[in-house]
Structure 1
Amino acid sequence: MAQKLIWDVAATEHQAKEAARSRPKESVLLVIGSKNGGKSTIISRFAERTDERRPATGLEYTFYRKQNLQNLGKDVVHLWELGGGSSLADLLEVVVKPNIILNLSVVMVLDLSEPNNLWTVFEELMAKLREAVKSVVSQLKQQRERGSGHTEAQRVGWAKFGKNHPDTELLNPLQVPIAIIGMKYDIFRKTVDAEKQRVVSSTLRFLAHINGASLMYCATTSENLMIRTRALLCSMAFGTQESRTVLLDDSKPLIAPAGADSLGAIGPPPMQDGGMKIHARKPVELWKNTFAGFFPPAAKEGEDKDGDPAADPQYAEAIVDEMRTQKDLELAKYKKATERAAREQERQAHASGKDVPQRTGGDRRHHPQQQHGAGKTTATARDRTTSSSSSSKERR
């Protein structure tokens, strides 16, 4: 009886898998990363579009269909692109939802040609991403009707490493598949010296490894690298076979699938010659401080020197900017007119002998005690005048 029950369960599971395989698949691909780092280019190439895609100015959506060879339908991937670098990271929670967490994959594009921004962009985006994923996993734990969704999310994070990976106790993989794409590798090779290239590569290998991410370098000028990048995205979006190529030579374009690297192979953080020893409580802090020694953090992305996002050329609009300039001029004229009128009022008050309102603290009204004291002073002067007049009459 028990044996028959086991076969029934196996048959039911097989039928469920076949039914799922025959249905078109849907997945979600979230593309984030450096501002003007090449996110739109990667999406266009992945979706096989020839038209030039305008860089995203916020959170933008599109989709891509691909023929499924196992059925007559087409698989669909929902593509979300977050523009603005890390300045709009709060919008990640719009995409990371409980109903799509098990179908979600993330691609983080980092601009290798601007190494001073690498750590800041990665750190801020990863922090927001972890926060959003953690919130969703907590919701799944509380919603029992969704079954073991949170357990599946945890399993996905560790799936690439296996049980016998030597760094298991030191890793903290994200609970959704993630890949880091280092774009503009061609410019990176020309503008950054060899020693600093090794610093960037070893640092990115470390960050990718401890967060359970795949790492790959890419350049739009290299057709081979673009093909490899598209194949990686296809494996994440459609579940196709992922390339087994591993290239960990820091002098070449890196290819490090999740779980293929190790802290032993990466080595310790590279130190500057003659530099001071850096102490930190955690390995991440040590790598961060070491990287900052080679590449001091630049100004925060998405903001100008004065911290005014309206001055960001990414959001330039001729009509709006012209109106903004006109309103700024009108406001400046209004302020000058107000100050001129206030000075004229003070001048007239002095000329007439009236008390001049004080401006301390922005309150131009008299303090009650000051008004009361002024009243006493006026009355005393009046009494003295009357007394002096009376004495004069008596002398006469």
Structure 2
Amino acid sequence: MPRSSDNLWDLAVAEVQRKENSEDDTEASADSERSVFFIGNKNGGKTTIILRCIDRQSFGAVEVDAAFPKDIAHFWELGGGISLTDLINIPITIENIRTFSIVLVLDLSKPSELWHTIEKLLPVTKHHIDKIIGDIGKSNSKAANQIVQNVWRSFPNNHPDRQLIDPFPLPLLIIGSKYDIFQDFESEKRKIICKTLRFVSHFYGASLLFTSKSETHKGVMRLFVNHLAFGQDKSKLVSVDHNKPLVIPAGSDSFSQIGSPPASESELRQVHVRTPIELWKKIYERYFPPKKTDDIKDVKDPAKDPQYAERDVDTMRAQKDQELEQYKRNADKSWKSMSLGSHT
């Protein structure tokens, strides 16, 4: 309650402090409820990875102590590969953005689709997140700045690449799936793919790991996902050998360790680009030219996407489409008849 001696300025300061404390309390209570959004290649293994990370009976909840409420994680998945990017804005909201994380799943068995998938999904997701952070900043600059600063926690002040990277605005984990197929590729191909994904992950301030059906890989993957979903301790494992599955927590790599793109100096001089990431793209696509596939082709009408095929519904839709076409033809005849009659 305000004292009679308080002036208008004192009351205003007290009100601002009260709101900030209230927001801090809300954020603290929200830490027990997080969201993880899986995006990536169509049929790249997103659903399988989610099911491997959680017990089907746990419903995405982990009980830390019987005396306290359960930590809850909401797992979202964007189906359809890159064809339904318009749906990315649905799960990411101004209410949950402070406890939201992104997992990009890339199918290692399809190297010609990797860069296209990255290019289609990450910028769209980043644009939506940046817009939300901007909206928050209009009314609460402190909260917006806190979200931005959180992504830098993995990069100490003395990290050599702090001025060279462009961290994703939310925690980002990149998973290379189907390593069991990838490990049979030629050594040189594996090396190029590994170096490229290391560069992309480090540039975006993301963690990177490869996984397969192996129980060992499954355990490592759960460590990374559980850190995002339940705030558990980060994995301290690090593996950068292209002959083994990559395991690289955010902030543990560097451009000097990754090295230059896989091209000669003369080839690099012939490539005209504006940014380092464009350079890596050009070099990568020389080895793995992008292919036109059903996954890459944008599907403007989700009803025509085979992923959502439903016989009874599709039969009824086909019938309605025929009726609509017949209506259009009849209407066209009517308008022509009216036009002729008017002309006469």
The residue that corresponds to 2:94 in the other structure is: 98
Aligned length: 316
Match of 1:322 among 289, 293, 315: 315
Give the stretch that moved more between structures: 62-71 or 115-124: 62-71
Match of 2:231 among 214, 239, 243: 239
The residue that corresponds to 1:217 in the other structure is: 210
1:62-211 → structure 2 map (5 Å cutoff): 63-69=59-65, 71-144=67-140, 148-190=142-184, 192-211=185-204
Match of 1:25 among 8, 20, 32: 32
Please state whether the residue corresponding to 1:68 is helix, strand or coil: coil
* 1:174 to 1:71, Cα distance in 2 relative to 1, 3 A: farther
Instruction: Compute the displacement of 1:43 (Å).
Output: 1.2
* 1:73 to 1:329, Cα distance in 2 relative to 1, 3 A: closer
Alpha-carbon distance between aligned partners in 2 of 1:44 and 1:173, rounded to the nearest angstrom:
28
Instruction: Compute the displacement of 1:132 (Å).
Output: 1.2
Alpha-carbon distance between aligned partners in 2 of 1:45 and 1:84, rounded to the nearest angstrom:
20
Output the amino acid matched with 2:103. V
Deviations 1:92-124 (A, max 9, x none): 222222221111111111111111111111111
The residue that corresponds to 1:8 in the other structure is: none
Instruction: Compute the displacement of 1:90 (Å).
Output: 2.1
* 1:308 to 1:82, Cα distance in 2 relative to 1, 3 A: closer
Please state whether the residue corresponding to 2:194 is helix, strand or coil: helix
Identity %: 38
Alpha-carbon distance between aligned partners in 2 of 1:331 and 1:150, rounded to the nearest angstrom:
49
Structure of higher CA gyration radius: 1
Deviations 1:184-215 (A, max 9, x none): 0111222x322111111111101100101000
Alpha-carbon distance between aligned partners in 2 of 1:79 and 1:323, rounded to the nearest angstrom:
33
Alpha-carbon distance between aligned partners in 1 of 2:208 and 2:228, rounded to the nearest angstrom:
13
Work out whether 1:49 is the aligned partner of 2:56.
Answer: yes
- TM-score under structure 2 length normalisation: 0.80
More relative contact order, 1 or 2 (CA 8 Å, 6+ apart): 2
The residue that corresponds to 2:246 in the other structure is: 254
Output the amino acid matched with 1:89. T
The residue that corresponds to 1:268 in the other structure is: 260
Alpha-carbon distance between aligned partners in 2 of 1:151 and 1:138, rounded to the nearest angstrom:
10
Output the amino acid matched with 1:268. S
Unaligned runs of 5+ residues in structure 2 are: 1-20
Instruction: Compute the displacement of 1:137 (Å).
Output: 1.1
Output the amino acid matched with 1:75. D
* 1:100 to 1:329, Cα distance in 2 relative to 1, 3 A: closer
Deviations 1:17-65 (A, max 9, x none): 9xx69x9811111111111111111111222128xxxxxxxxxxx9511
Instruction: Compute the displacement of 1:163 (Å).
Output: 0.5
Output the amino acid matched with 1:231. L
Tell me if the contact between 1:217 and 1:255 (Cα under 8 Å) persists in the aligned partners. Answer: yes
Please state whether the residue corresponding to 1:113 is helix, strand or coil: coil
Alpha-carbon distance between aligned partners in 1 of 2:178 and 2:231, rounded to the nearest angstrom:
27
Alpha-carbon distance between aligned partners in 1 of 2:78 and 2:193, rounded to the nearest angstrom:
24
Alpha-carbon distance between aligned partners in 1 of 2:135 and 2:329, rounded to the nearest angstrom:
55
Alpha-carbon distance between aligned partners in 2 of 1:232 and 1:36, rounded to the nearest angstrom:
21
Instruction: Compute the displacement of 1:245 (Å).
Output: 0.9
The residue that corresponds to 1:55 in the other structure is: none
Please state whether the residue corresponding to 1:139 is helix, strand or coil: helix
Alpha-carbon distance between aligned partners in 2 of 1:273 and 1:284, rounded to the nearest angstrom:
17
- TM-score under structure 1 length normalisation: 0.70
Output the amino acid matched with 2:210. Y
Please state whether the residue corresponding to 1:171 is helix, strand or coil: coil
Unaligned runs of 5+ residues in structure 1 are: 1-12, 51-61, 342-356, 358-363, 372-396
* 1:24 to 1:168, Cα distance in 2 relative to 1, 3 A: closer
Alpha-carbon distance between aligned partners in 2 of 1:184 and 1:101, rounded to the nearest angstrom:
30
Instruction: Compute the displacement of 1:314 (Å).
Output: 1.2
Alpha-carbon distance between aligned partners in 2 of 1:196 and 1:174, rounded to the nearest angstrom:
27
